Every structure is written in structure tokens, then in C-alpha cells.
Amino acid sequence: MNIKHSELILNPNGSIYHLNLLPEDISTDIIFVGDQDRVDKVTAHFDSIDFTTQKREFKTTTGTYKGKRLSVISTGIGPDNIDIVLNELDALVNINLETRQIKEKHTALNIVRIGTSGSLQTDIPVDSFLLSSHALDINGMLHSYQVEEIAHPEMEQAFIKHTNWSSKKCEPLVIANGEKLAEKIASEITFKGITATAGGFYGPQGRVLRLPLQDANLNSKIDSFNFNSNRITNLEMETSAIYGLSKLLGHNAVSMNAIIANRANGTFSENPGKVVANLIKYTLDKLVE
């Protein structure tokens, strides 16, 4: 059965709607960054650049680094943007855009997020790297899909009980990373842990300007959660969506976090740009090993 034009939207040149990409424009090894300006900071290390395009906040550049073809894509901020990016990337490799039919042979993408994050634990300092072993979804986007097979019910229920989670909020969901890809990248990473993914920057992450919070103590509850030695180490806005959609669509994903703030002790990196630059080079070299 053909996928309807209203569901799979293409531009006049046949490219996928938001990303403005054709299948040949991307590699199967892809780096996600949030900031469109960070795409050039990654590709500055490339030996050659074959293709680049941008539509809205979604900038894509494909080229070669040490003989390996890689694509770098800016996703913008938040899980809603990840929903667009991952579904459209999957369509590029697993749907025939001309016939609008799902391909018989599945293609798996390798996706590495390089992003900034704030540590929730006093022993994870600014200027360090952290690999997300799991993601804790507290924003609800993934519940639009059938998530039972990727969930971790015991850990989720423990978190709900520990935080006295409001029944008016979406039910938390825990998703693991892509294990084989994580093993490839993690050899020199000191810190690993659960990354909580919020749907906003202020209230959803416990920040107060003029609006009071539904649960003023939620951050401290998150900080103190521990399930079989798994603790929540950091908080950001994309990882759970990347992990969840990648699992559901049959792709491999790992989130690499440059820790530029420590929410537990109130510190912020004196040179966050350097931390991100170091993480970019580390990740690129791991991908070509």
C-alpha cells in the first residue's frame, strides 16, 4: 500500500519535506547537533565536503573524515524537532520516495548526538564528557507511538514512586542506548548514566523566573533517584526522543554530552566552547576507528 501524500510530504524536487534531503545526500553514519552553527564546527575537521543544505533550523552537511563518509545535521531544540528529523531520515533510507512503499530491506542508521548538558550530580564536574546509558523521557512525545517493547517498567515505576509523580503529567519512560555503538565510542568516557529529557528549558527543568512550579522539589527527587545503581546524571531536551525513535525504527543511537553546567553545585564552565570542541574531535575519531 502506498503511503499517502498527506503523510509522506515531499518538496517539488522530490526531497523530504522539512530536511530538504534526497536519499543520496546522507550517510548511514550521522552526527546530530542542536545548534545549526555547530554543524560547521564539526565539518571543519572534514577532509572534504560533498553536500550541504539548510531549511529552517535543519542544516545538513555530508562529507568525508579520515576516509569515512559522515553526515552532520542540526536538529534545533527539543523532542518535537527530533520527531521530525528521525522520521524523515528513516524515510530517506527505508521508504522508496518514488513509489511511496516501504522497502523490503531495512537500513539501520548510526546516530550520535553531540550536545551540551547540565550535570545533576556533584561528582560529575563541568568540562567533562558523559555518555547516556539510558534516557528518561519526562516530556511525553514518545507516547504517541507504541512504546511497550522499548520500555523498562520496573525502573519507570520506581521513578514514579520515588518522585510521587503527578498523574496529570505524561508517564515517564526509560529507553536504553544502542549498545554496540555505545561500546565503540565509550572506551575513554569516565561518566555514564541516565539522561533525563524534558520538554522545555524553564519550568520542565525546574527553573523558576516568575512562574511557580507544579513540584518545586522535583529536581532534588530526580537527583536522588537510584535504581540498581542506575542514577540520573544530567538533564537536557533531546536524548529520550533520539533513543526512543531509534529503537522503534531499528536504528542505533548514542548521546554524548558535554557537561557545561553543574546544577547540583551551581557552577558553569569557564570555556564551554572548548568542551564542545573537544567532544566533537573525540567523537569523530571514535567513529572512524
Q: What is the pTM of this model?
A: 0.96
How far apart are the C-alpha atoms of 229 and 225, rounded to whole Å? Answer: 9
**Has residue 190 got a pLDDT over 80?**
no
At 9, list the grid cell.
Answer: 510530504
pLDDT at 106: 98
Tens digits of residue pLDDT in 149-188:
999 999 999 999 999 999 999 999 999 999 999 999 987 7
User: Are the C-beta atoms of 63 and 81 separated by less than 8 Å?
Assistant: no
Confidence class of residue 132 from pLDDT cuts 50, 70 and 90? very high
pLDDT at 186: 86
Tens digits of residue pLDDT in 219-273:
999 999 999 999 999 999 999 999 999 999 999 999 999 999 998 888 999 999 9
Through-space distance between the first and last CA atoms of the chain, rounded to whole angstroms: 41
User: Are the C-beta atoms of 135 and 239 separated by less than 8 Å?
Assistant: yes
pLDDT at 214: 97
pLDDT at 264: 86
Q: What is the mean pLDDT of residues 30-51?
A: 97
- High-pLDDT (> 90) share of the chain, %: 94
List Cα–Cα distances, 270 to 242, 264, 267, in angstroms: 29, 17, 9
Tens digits of residue pLDDT in 73-96:
999 999 999 999 999 999 999 999
Mean of all residue pLDDT scores within the chain: 96
Can you count the helices (H) and strands (E) in the chain?
A: 7, 14
Nearest-5° Cα angle at 167, 165 to 172: 55
Confidence class of residue 203 from pLDDT cuts 50, 70 and 90? very high
Q: Residues with Cβ < 8 Å from 264, sequence gap 6 or more? A: 119, 120, 121, 122, 223
How far apart are the C-alpha atoms of 123 and 126, rounded to whole Å? Answer: 10
**Has residue 189 got a pLDDT over 90?**
no
